[in-house]
Amino acid sequence: MNDLLSIADLDAASLRKLLDRADAFRRAGRVRQPILDGRSVALLFEKPSTRTRVSFEVAVARLGAHPVVLSAAESQLGRGETIADTGRTLSRYVDAIVWRTYGQDRLETMAEAADVPVINALSDLEHPCQALADLATMRWKLGPLDAVTLAYVGDGNNVVHSLLLAAALSGMELRCVTPPGFAPDPVIVARATTLAAEHGGPAPVVTTDLAAIDGVDAIYTDVWTSMGAEAETEARRAAFADYQVNAALVARAPDAVILHCLPAHRGEEITDEVIDSPRSLVWDQAEHRLHAQCAVLEALIR
């Protein structure tokens, strides 16, 4: 693994190793571990961020490296410099590039030009660091992932794309329940199906039927309208109304834990009653972003 642009950049063994290291970082707590002492990491943010920015910046510092944080307005990318030129230049200064951007092709161009690892901190297609944190959280609370059944309810977006691939590598069963017309990318679903077959796990289920939630171990949701789709907000509220994670829906799986990658639009995709309930792991999930990203930085840079 030279870069982490997609969960598909991993294999089952490297995924397990990252999850093991994330758990070790969790158990170590807030102790500084200067594994990357003397290194520097560029953190580029073209999209708004709270958890990703703070968790990466803290992770870099906790490992003893220096974070260099740049917004789109602060880098020459915002003034027309090519991605390749930015990648070549940053490679002369830093030991890794973490980028939160738009198209997946932008990350691929950066990785091709850069001589240092490139990490996808979110693109329109995938959110691999989020998926690593999600699996780390579930493994911590629910045990071996190949015994876990997860229902993702909502939009077939970048978050579920990475979850599909991660579930296939880990042996976890994933049921993706979306309104008609909002299913995940069929190319990603096909890739996840192939990976699951290669690893002897269950193929992902993609359906509009809420009955797929019955009896699962975990229920996951995300915002109905992702960044860049704001013009569709009202239409999406109507389309997703029956897919709200509320008391009636979670009653289908009485023992399931609740997951959300945040930020939550309370009263839309999830109710206060559910996200604030004892079954909710969303704050543990947010914390695991830090631990998982420590593991990624260590693996790629060290």
Q: Does domain 7-126+289-301 bear CATH number 2.40.50.140?
A: no
Supply the DSSP symbol for 208: S
Q: How far is CA 190 from CA 72, 138, 273, in A?
A: 34, 24, 36
Q: How far is CA 133 from CA 74, 84, 111, 166, 286, in A?
A: 29, 29, 23, 11, 8
244 classed as catalytic: no
Dihedral sign for Cα atoms in the order 257, 263, 265, 266: positive
161 classed as catalytic: no
289 classed as catalytic: yes
Same fold, 7-126+289-301 and 128-285: yes
Residue environment code for 147-175, b if the CB has 16+ CB neighbours within 10 A, otherwise e: ebbbbbbbbbbbbbbbbbbbbbbbbbbbb
Residue type, 127: H
Catalytic residue among 191, 222, 288, 294: 222
Asked whether the beta carbons of 300 and 4 are under 8 A apart, the reply is yes
Catalytic residue among 26, 161, 288, 289: 289
Catalytic residue among 130, 244, 285, 293: 130
Distance CA 115, CA 248 (A): 51
Secondary structure, 3-state, 62-96: HCCCEEEEEEHHHCHHHHCCCHHHHHHHHHCCCCE
Catalytic residue among 51, 100, 191, 236: 100
Catalytic residue among 21, 127, 139, 291: 127
Pairing between β-strand 66-71 and β-strand 40-45 as defined by DSSP bridges: parallel
222 classed as catalytic: yes
Q: What is the model's pTM? A: 0.97
**What percent of the chain is modeled with pLDDT above 70?**
100
Catalytic residue among 261, 288, 291, 294: 261
Supply the DSSP symbol for 108: H
Closest CA to 263 of 218, 291, 224: 224
- Model confidence over 105-163: pLDDT tens digits? 999 999 999 999 999 999 999 999 999 999 999 999 999 999 999 999 999 999 999 99
Q: Does domain 128-285 bear CATH number 2.130.10.10?
A: no
Domain ranges of the chain: 7-126+289-301, 128-285
Q: Tokens 């992770």 correspond to what residue?
A: 59
- Model confidence over 25-84: pLDDT tens digits? 999 999 999 999 999 999 999 998 999 999 999 999 999 999 999 988 888 887 889 999
Distance CA 107, CA 100 (A): 9
176 classed as catalytic: no
129 classed as catalytic: no
Residue 300 has pLDDT above 90, yes or no: yes
pLDDT of residue 77: 86
Q: Tokens 């109507």 correspond to what residue?
A: 238
Distance CA 18, CA 145 (A): 14
Could you tell me how many residues make up the chain? 302
